[in-house]
Chain A
Amino acid sequence: MTTLSPYRSTEREARDGFGQLLHAEWTKFRTVRGWVAGMILAALITAGLGVFLAKASANPSCSSQTSADQQGPVQHGAACGGPGYALGPGGEPVQDQFYFVRQPLAGDGSITVRVTSLTGLGQGTNNGVPFGAIAVPWSKAGIIIKDGTSRGSAYAAMMVTGGNGVRMQWNYTGDTPGTPGTVSAASPRWLRLTRAGDTITGYDSADGTHWTQVGTVALAGLPSTVQAGLFVTSPSHSTYSSSLGVGTGSSNPTQSTAVFDHVSRTGEWPASAWTGEYFIEDGEMAVQGNGYHQAGGRFTVTGSGDIAPLVSGALNDGPNITVRDYLLGTFAGLIAVAVVAALFMTAEYRRGLIRITLAASPDRVRVLAAKAIVIGSAAFVAGLAAAAGAVLIGTDIAHSSGSALFPEPWPTELRIIAGTAALVAVAAIFTLAVATMVRRSATAILIVIVTIVIPFVLSAPPGIPTGLTEWLLRVTPAAAFALQQPSPQYYQVQANYIPSSGFYPLAPWAGFAVLCAWTALALILAAYLLRRRDA
């Protein structure tokens, strides 16, 4: 009589690790054709809309700039006579336009002046009220030390402003406040700049004897002979009226006049006299009236323009197309990703598969974690492909068609692309968590669309009052769209910093943190409910 040994499977015993769980969830995702197709579709929609937008905005209407005569000559990205711009030392597009009364300064030295007045001589009107009564808040008059006369070259300057007190500014984006208050004959301001090697130090004073150091900056690679002297400039005055469907912005040039006296210098100034010029390359399109007048020790200088970074956006002075515009289709791809993410969980309940899943892996929180990792990774890949495609192809189209595309430094471009992928990935995990809570795909999709897509959609076209859209973009998970902001907001440049121009109320990573916080909250609630409720 033989003994029968019981059957044993020759398969190796599977381990019950998190790796196996991840593999199981990945297999579920990978083998549902509709879900993989949905992710691919999401990437194609976003990238496709990006390409469409790049093509459709390739020849912007040439008449949209209201202040064309205020712009300097064309240097970069000029499209049908649109605004040209120079690049500053930091690689950002800048405006470098002012009236400059200059002399070369050889080697180390200093220049000191007293400013007794700064008044506006506006051109154009604001709601029917002509400019002229006051200088615009960021009109500037003072002294500057500049690396030659090419546009976008390095500089440091001490200045009085129309409404922001004394400032020291350098290289277009640097700004430090000095003595506050407006300048007048009764309360003049003394300004001083000293150069020692690459280092320039700015001082201000109310009386010419008691000096305060405002700031000190190092301008790397400053040549031994620099251009130094007096300058006046006055930025255009931007207005934006938000009315539904008709978001209209206008940008009117302004002029300011300043009076300087007590000009004193130390160091070697080889030229015998001052040279006055409206500082834009080639000297063309000088705004009428700019100039200077010297009588005794008194200089009266009138200028227009700005020495500042350019601000992107349809209603601002800079090149109005940004790579963020090519990513407006992100929300459509996000809808597709959210549908897949919701189904990734709700399909388990619909088919009863959840019971098998939980029987195989009784630790429910681990199941949720594995699902979140799988769907998050898939969404990240889809988002990355979409964003990289939209930005790179869009940029290529813009360059080949000569569109005025706002140039991005590579770290910003990288943040926009990787940030978009992160936004899509975390939004997918958020959707998964919501779907775990509500168990019905329709409800989950509705919640995600109302909290992420609608705030974005309301903010994208100009017209909806910005108070509402900015509030929504602070508190809802849609705050993460701030990751796509194409250029910083400069408090020292007055412009239309509104969501429809790509300016979000929160900093890029702060906005992303809002989405992450909502997602963490949703995951905690989902884990709690998944454990407490019967499947």
Chain B
Amino acid sequence: MSLPAAGLPAAGLSRARYGRETLHAEWTKLRTLASTGWLLLSVVAVTVAVGATTDAAATCPSGGCQADPAKISLTGVQAGQAIVAVIAVLAISGEYSTGMIRVTLAAMPRRLTVLAAKAALVAGLVLAAGAVAVLASVLIGRLILPGHGFTLANGYPALSLGHGPVLRAACGSVLYLTLIALLSLGIATAVRESAVAIGLVLGLLYVFPVVTSVVGNQHWQRHLEQIGPMTAGLDIQATTNLGSLPLTPWEGLGVLALWAAGALIIGALVLRFRDA
């Protein structure tokens, strides 16, 4: 089936102009929803709070430990990602629940452009909120952790973004949250119903770390950690003991990127070929 070169309105907008207009329309929708702001704020709040609590609960006895301070202070990402998923899911499924999607697609018939605009906006917003959350988490870790035994004497310099691996962990965590948003957007576009989409995303994310924790078979365990979007993606937070990781940090984030790309492609196909 070949659709007509629909979408270019009579005014004869250029492709770029059309894209900009779509982006602007989507931005207006997202911006004027009260929930967007609240959810972004709670991404920061939950991430920072869980990170700070973990910092406060962590201890490194004198004589050293195997802990990874960057990972500890970024633990909040594991909770904050749940809210990121909700933001991304609501960006599309909110339209289905209210019937707005029909207006959207009537006004902007190029469906993939609409999805691309949504993806860009959601990614941008999560990138910004994630950056704030991660920066604050690292800063709090830098303040709290030395009081819990993570001192130079035990082999742990204070967390600093000037340290290469810590910078990688911090930037990587922001990218991780962004990729989680794209994964969620893709799944939500495919299943449409917000509750189902959120359940699917979070089930998919959390099932791997929980299952691998009890799989006794090392071979299985390693494979599960390599393919799980959350277990692989969070490899990016490692700054010590890199040799024991099932994947290198960037490979791990790459696995998550593949998941996100796969979800977006499925979402795009469903959006393109199914009645709204």
Contact = CB atoms under 8 A, between A and B. Distances in A.
A328 B194 contact: no
Interface string B140-181: 000000000000000000000000000000000000000000
Interface string A428-441: 00000000000011
B223 to A, nearest CB: 10
Interface stretch (A57-65, A268-276, A520-528): A57-65
Contacts of B238: 245
B195 A331 contact: no
Interface residues of B, number: 52
Interface stretch (A18-26, A295-303, A465-473): A465-473
Contact of A314 (B46, B72, B194, B214): B214
Interface in B48-69: 50, 53-54, 56-59, 61, 63, 65-68
Given A335-B203, A449-B202, A461-B210, A244 B217 contact: no
Interface in B88-113: 89-90, 93-94, 97
A282 to B, nearest CB: 28
Contact of A465 (B46, B59, B195, B196): B59
A336 B203 contact: yes
Given A335-B199, A441-B194, A244 B78 contact: no
Contact of B199 (A59, A336, A465): A336
A466 to B, nearest CB: 7
Given A56-B216, A241-B66, A339-B196, A458 B210 contact: no
Query: Counting chain A CB atoms within 10 Å of each CB, which of B54, B97, B214, B215 scores highest?
Result: B214
Interface stretch (A100-108, A342-350, A356-364): A342-350
A346 B195 contact: yes
A500 B213 contact: yes
Contacts of B14: none
Interface in A144-184: none
B213 A445 contact: no
Contacts of B58: 242, 465
Contacts of B244: 246
A200 interface: no
A327 to B, nearest CB: 10
B217 A449 contact: no
B27 interface: no
A320 B217 CA distance: 13
13 contacts: A56-B216, A57-B214, A241-B65, A242-B67, A243-B72, A244-B68, A246-B244, A320-B216, A332-B207, A339-B196, A449-B82, A453-B206, A454-B78
Interface of B: 35, 46, 50, 53-54, 56-59, 61, 63, 65-68, 71-72, 75, 78-79, 82-83, 86, 89-90, 93-94, 97, 193-196, 198-199, 202-203, 206-207, 209-218, 220, 238, 241, 244
Interface of A: 45, 49, 52-53, 56-61, 64, 127-128, 241-246, 248, 314, 320-321, 325, 328-329, 331-332, 335-336, 338-339, 342-343, 346, 350, 440-446, 449-450, 453-454, 456-458, 460-462, 464-468, 471, 500
